[in-house]
Amino acid sequence: MLKNQLITPEGTKDDLFEEASVCRRIAQRLCGLFEKRGFAEVVTPGLEFLDVFSVEGHSIPTEYMFKLTDPKGRLLVIRPDSTLPIARLCATRLKGELLPLRLYYNQAVYSSNPALRGRSDEVKQAGVELIGVQSKLADLEILSLALKSLEELGSPSFRLEIGHIGFFNILADSLCLDAAAREELRLLIEVKNYPAVGDILDRFSGRKEALILKQLPRLFGGEEVFRQASALIENSEAAPILSYLQQLYESLQKLGLGDQVSVDLGIVNRTDYYTGVVFKGYLEGYGEPILSGGRYDRLLASFGEEAPAIGFAVHIDAAARTLMREQEVRIPPAERLIFAEPGREMEAIHYLNELTSQGVKAELSLFSTWEESLEYAEKRGISRLEKPGLSSSGGKVQ
C-alpha cells in the first residue's frame, strides 16, 4: 500500500452525511435568497492564471496559493478567491452589459495555511457581488442582504459589524507617513495593540489626525461609538465618513435588528483593496468572522474596466460547523425499508419508485431474507420494513 493512500491532505476532509447535508442546506438557503433578490449565478473555473490574482491588496499572498503550470509553462493557481475571477469576467465577457450587474457564486476556494493550526485549506463559500453602482442605496442593499444571509443561517445570535476603510486612509495620508511606517501603524491598529499605536502616534504630538488614529482601535461597539467619535472627528477630513457610516447604521436599525448591528471604526484590513464601507459577520461560538465583505471600487480598473463594486462572501463550512456542534454525525435513516422477495425483485423496485415519488424516503433492502432485513432496519433506525403488499406490522399497505 502507498504511503498516503489512506489519508487526505492536511487542511482537507471528507464531509459525511449530516456535515454534507448541513453544508448543502446552508448553501441552498443562501443561493435561494440571492436568487430571490435578483442575483444571477456564475461559476468560474477551478484553475486560473496566477496573473488574475496578482492584484495589489489581494487577501491571499502568492506564497499561499496552490500553483501548477499549464502545458506551455504558464503559472496557474487553484482558485484562491471568487471575487477576482468575477472582476475578470465583468471586464471581459460581461463588458457592456446593462448595469448594475448582480452576480452570486457558490464554490470552494483553496489556499495553503500554515500547518497544524486547525485551519482548512478548502473553504466552501457563497457570496454576491453588486457591480456598477456606487451609492448609499447600493451599500444598504448589500448590507441588508448580508444581515438576511446571517439570519438565514438559522442561529439567533449573530452580529453584523460595519466600518469604513476611509478613516485610516484619510488620516494616515494627512500624516505623510512613509510606506513602511504606514504599514506598521496599520498592522498595530488592526491587532488593537493600544500601547504600541500610542507610542508611534505620540511622535506627532498634538496633531489632530494622530489623536484620532490613536483612538481608532478603541472605537467599536454600538451607537455610543458615534457619540464618542463625533467630538474627536468633527472638523477633520474624516467627518463626512463618520456621518455616512452613521447614516448606514441608522438605516439598518430600521430593519428592527437592534444590537445585532454594530460598528468598528478600527477595521483596517486590506486598506489598498477596499475603498469604502467594510463589514464582518459573526456567529456566537465561532472564533473567526463567518461573513466578510466591503466596497472595492478600484478592483475592476485593474482589469481594464472602470466600475464600482461591493460584495461579500459567507464561509459555509464554518457556519455548518458552528450550527452542528455537539450534534452526532450519523447517516440519517430512511422512513421505510423495502424487502425484495427472491424472484419478485422488480415488484419491490416498482413499489420503491412509487413511494419515493410520493415523497417518502425509502431504501431497498439488499438482504435475501426477511429476518436479516429486519435486523438491518433495527440497527439503522428505520422504523418500518415492508414488502410490496405487506408491511412489518402485518397490515396491508394501500
Q: Which of 36, 72, 117, 325 binds other proteins (CB under 8 A)?
A: 117
The nearest distance, CB 282 to other proteins, in angstroms, is 5
The nearest distance, CB 191 to other proteins, in angstroms, is 5
173 binds other proteins (CB under 8 A): no
191 binds other proteins (CB under 8 A): yes
359 binds other proteins (CB under 8 A): no
Site for other proteins in 220-249 (CB under 8 A): 220-221
Distance separating alpha carbons of residues 252 and 5, to the nearest angstrom: 52
Distance separating alpha carbons of residues 179 and 324, to the nearest angstrom: 45
Site for other proteins in 53-112 (CB under 8 A): none
Q: Where in 167-232 does DSSP place strands (E)?
A: 220-221
The region of 22-30, 233-241, 282-290, 299-307 touching other proteins under the rule CB under 8 A is: 282-290
Distance separating alpha carbons of residues 167 and 213, to the nearest angstrom: 8
The nearest distance, CB 383 to other proteins, in angstroms, is 38
The region of 128-136, 166-174, 188-196, 203-211 touching other proteins under the rule CB under 8 A is: 188-196
370 binds other proteins (CB under 8 A): no
195 binds other proteins (CB under 8 A): yes
Q: What is the contact mask toward other proteins in residues 196 to 215, using x (rule: CB under 8 A)?
A: x-------------------
Sheet with 261-264: list strands edge to edge.
40-41, 101-110, 122-131, 309-315, 291-295, 277-283, 158-164, 261-264, 220-221
The nearest distance, CB 277 to other proteins, in angstroms, is 17
C-alpha cell at 318: 464554518
Tell me how many residues contact other proteins (CB under 8 A). 22
Identify residue 152 by its one-letter amino acid code: E
The nearest distance, CB 317 to other proteins, in angstroms, is 14
The nearest distance, CB 156 to other proteins, in angstroms, is 13
The region of 63-71, 278-286, 331-339, 382-390 touching other proteins under the rule CB under 8 A is: 278-286
Q: Which of 118, 332, 359, 395 binds other proteins (CB under 8 A)?
A: 118
Q: Which is nearer to other proteins, 170 or 316 (CB)?
A: 316
Q: Which of 194, 204, 244, 367 binds other proteins (CB under 8 A)?
A: 194
174 binds other proteins (CB under 8 A): no
The position carrying cell 496557474 is 76
Sequence-distant (≥ 6) Cβ neighbours of residue 156 within 8 angstroms: none
Q: Note the residues at the interface with other proteins (CB under 8 A).
A: 117-118, 157, 159, 161, 191-196, 220-221, 262, 264, 282, 284-289
